[in-house]
Amino acid sequence: MMINKITRELLREWGTCYTDERIAALVPPDGVAPIQVLDANIPAEDRLWALTRPGILTPCEAAAFARECAAWAALARDRAAWAAADNAAWAARAAADRERLRQLGAIRRLIAERNTK
């Protein structure tokens, strides 16, 4: 049986950690459509919890949702790898810049010593 509305009663049956007052503030008396949960002003993990209850998604929707979650996870992993690569590149660049500055400092000292003789 597919569930078309997530109601206050369903949330309580599912064992939500929200209080009755919080549920009442978030869910109107007639409930919300599952798609509306995506825009709810609650943490992402709570939205996922509600959307992954049995009967909310069809098997086809659940499979598509799983693929999208996997794609987002891969993107997050890739972004982290890119950031690490960028940080490593910047660290290498900074080290090279420091070495050039050290060499310039040494050259300046040599020139200064030569000019004082």
By 3-state DSSP, what share of the chain in percent is helix, strand and coil, each rounded to 5? Answer: 70, 0, 25
pTM comes to 0.59
| 8 A C-beta contact, residue 32 and residue 3 | no
User: Which residues of the chain register pLDDT less than 70?
Assistant: 90, 100-117
pLDDT value, residue 99: 72
Report helix, strand or coil for 32.
strand
pLDDT value, residue 85: 73
pLDDT tens digits, 75-89? 778 777 777 777 777
Q: Who's near 6: CB < 8 A, 6+ residues apart?
A: 27, 31, 32, 33, 34, 37, 50, 56
